[in-house]
Structure 1
Amino acid sequence: MHILQTVVSFILVLSILVFVHELGHFLFAKRAGILVREFAIGFGPVVFSKRKGETLYAIRLLPLGGFVRMAGEDPEIIDIKPESIIHLDMKQNLVTDVWLIDPREVKGELVTGKLVEMDTEKDLFVTILLDESGEQVRYPLHREAFIHLNKKNEMQIAPIDRQFSSKTVWQKALTILAGPIFNIILTIILFGVYTAVIGVEAKLPISMVTKNSPAEKAGLKPGDVIQTVNNKRVSTIDMLRVELINSKGKAVPFVVKRGNQDLQVNIAPQKQGEVYIIGTMFDQRQMMRKATMMETVREGFKQTYNWSVIILDGFGKLVTGQISIDSLGGPAQMGYLTGKAADAGFVALIKWTALLSLNLGIFNLLPIPALDGSRLIFIIIEGVRGRPINPSKESYVHLVGFAMLILLMVFVTINDFRKIF
Structure 2
Amino acid sequence: MKLDDNVMKGGFPLPFPNLDSIESILAIIIVFGVLVFVHELGHFLLAKRAGILCREFALGMGPKIFSIKRGETEYTLRLLPIGGMVRMAGEDPELDILKPHMEVSVERDAVGKVTRILLDKTDSGSVNGTIVRYDLEHQLTLTLNVDGEEQTFSVHPQAHLVKDGQEVQIAPYNRQFRGKTVSERFLAIFAGPAANFLLAFLLFVAIGLSYGVPSNVPYLGEVRPGGPAAQAGLMQGDRVIAIQGQPVSTWKEIVQIVSQSPDKELLFDIERNGQRKSVKVRIYNDNNVGKIMVTQTLTYAPGEVLKYGAVSTYEFTAMILKSLGMLFTGAVGLNDLSGPVGIFKMTGEFAQQGLAVLLKWAAVLSINLGLFNLLPLPALDGGRLAFLLVEALRGRPVDPHKEGMVHFLGFAFLMLLILVVTWNDLQRLFLQ
Q: Which residue in the other structure is 1:38 paired with?
A: 56
One-letter code aligned to 1:71: A
Q: Retained in 2: the 8 A contact 1:204–1:235?
A: no
> Would you say the 8 A contact 1:208–1:280 is kept in 2?
no
Question: Which deviates more from structure 2 when the two are superposed, residues 316-325 or residues 303-312?
Answer: 316-325
Q: Match of 1:277?
A: 289
d(CA) in 2 for partners of 1:244 and 1:24? 47
Q: Which segments of 5 or more consecutive residues in structure 2 lack a partner in the other structure?
A: 1-18
Q: Which residue of 2 aligns with 1:188?
A: 201
For 1:53, give the aligned amino acid. G
Give the secondary-structure state (helix, strand or coil) at the position aligned to 2:407. Answer: helix
Q: Conserved in 2, the CA contact under 8 Å of 1:205 and 1:224?
A: no
Aligned AA (2:96): I
* Counterpart in the other structure of 1:386: 395
Deviation at 1:359, TM superposition (A): 1.1
The match for 1:25 among 34, 39, 43 is 43
Residue 160 (structure 2) aligns with: 146
The equivalent residue for 2:114 is 95
1:64 to 78, 82, 102: 82
Distance 1:119 1:302, change over 3 A: same
Q: Would the aligned equivalents of 1:10 and 1:334 in 2 still touch at CA under 8 Å?
A: no
The answer to whether residue 408 in structure 2 is matched with residue 399 in structure 1 is yes
When normalised by structure 1's length, the TM-score is 0.83
Q: Who is 2:251 aligned against?
A: 235
Percentage of matched positions with identical amino acids: 38
Separation (CA, whole Å) in 2 of partners of 1:155 and 1:18 = 26
Partner Cα separation in structure 2 for residue 176 and residue 185 of structure 1: 15
Equivalent position amino acid for 1:122 in 2: H
User: Counterpart amino acid of 1:193?
Assistant: A
Instruction: State the distance in 2 between where 1:18 and 1:261 align.
Output: 56
Shift of 1:42: 0.7
Q: How many residues align?
A: 397
List per-residue Cα deviations over 1:259-313 (Å, max 9, x = no partner).
974347798999x7xxx83255445xxx443512222212111111111111111
Residue 135 (1) aligns with residue 153 (2): no
Of 278, 284, 288, the residue aligned with 1:262 is: 278
CA-atom RMSD, angstroms? Answer: 3.3
Give deviations 1:103-135, integer Å, cap 9, x for gaps: 79x7xx6222222222211221112222xx332
Distance 1:257 1:126, change over 3 A: same
Are residues 1:336 and 2:354 paired?
Answer: no
Q: Which amino acid is 2:72 matched to?
A: E
Q: 1:243 to 1:46 in 2, by over 3 A?
A: farther
Query: What are the Cα deviations for residues 31-50 of structure 1, in whole angstroms up to 9, with x where unaligned?
Result: 11111111111100111111
Match of 2:176 in 1: 163
Is contact 1:88–1:111 with CA below 8 Å preserved after alignment?
yes
- Unpaired runs of 5+ residues, structure 1, are 211-215
1:141 Cα shift? Answer: 1.0
Are the structure 2 counterparts of residues 342 and 402 from structure 1 closer, same or farther at C-alpha, using a change threshold of 3 Å?
same
